[in-house]
Amino acid sequence: MTHYRSFVALGDSFTEGLNDPAVDGGAGPAGQERFRGWADRVAERLAALDPDFRYANLAVRGKLIDQIVADQVPLAVSMRPDLVSLCAGGNDLLRPGSDPDRMAKKLAGAVRELRATGAQVLLFTGVDPRDTPIMRRARGTFAIFYLHIRSIADLYGCHLVDQWSLQGLRDWRAWSDDRLHMNEEGHRIVAARVCEVLGVPTEDDWRVTWPPRVDVDPRIKRREDVQWVRTHLGPWVLRRLRGRSSGDAVDPKRPDLKPF
């Protein structure tokens, strides 16, 4: 069993933990809603194995890969933890004209910096977007970037969680109503897989067999799609047009490397 005494999580909403509500509820920094997420779940397991374990989560929703590399990576380097997770690029890929080759070079540079500290680095591919009507049009771009991530992991000796192969995440019951962020079950699946990749014991299993779903009336499905456009897609597009991000007024939930 591998032993980690400190863990720093870097990234965007996926690593911040949207939309997996914190167990104790309440509010985070500046009155923000508290989220748990896969990273906190993994930190809980690591803390259970070492009373001196320390954890920081610098991830902020909406951040692009350039912002994560510029703002979060240097802080992680200065903290010199045993383990760093880095998941970036998802928000870039949602934007027209994203360049997976340029993104990969940016990510590789960040990985080199983190590995130079002696830290173990954990990387992620994303989920196959073929089941998402909007994102599946750019499926090839997603796939190119994720193949780059696999290559970076091999080149620099990183741990890799391949979400593309996690069949349990192919079911919408692992996702929240906005269809972009995992719910509690989705984060549980990812955390279980992370623990397995890291060699950390856990009682959870990432292999999920969902019970058969009852067929939904097409009329109900259309109404749900219309409601999703109004509630989630419309505001997202409006923020893009205004040059704003959902993370503009959000601070990292655990900015310091402290006991968990």
Contacts (Cβ under 8 Å, ≥6 apart) of 12: 59, 60, 61, 62, 63, 68, 87, 88, 90, 91, 247
Q: Does residue 103 surpass a pLDDT of 50? A: yes
First-last CA distance in the chain: 20
Provide the whole-model pTM. 0.90
* Spatial distance between the Cα atoms of 12 and 240, rounded to a whole number of angstroms: 16
- Residue 48 vs residues 54, 190, 202, 249: alpha-carbon distances, Å: 11, 19, 11, 33
Contact (CB, 8 A) for 247 and 30: no
Tell me the pLDDT tens digit for each residue of 160-217: 999 999 999 999 899 988 878 999 999 999 999 999 999 999 999 999 888 887 666 6
Cα separation, 203 vs 195, in Å, equals 10
**Helix pair angle (100-116, 139-156), 10° resolution:** 20
Structure tokens at 103: 């993104």
Place of tokens 């962020």: 181
Q: What is d(CA 165, CA 169) in angstroms, rounded to the nearest whole number?
A: 9
Q: Would you state the pLDDT for residue 58?
A: 98
Q: Which residue segments constitute the domains of the chain, with CATH numbers given?
A: 6-207+215-259 (3.40.50.1110)
At residue 180, the pLDDT reads 84
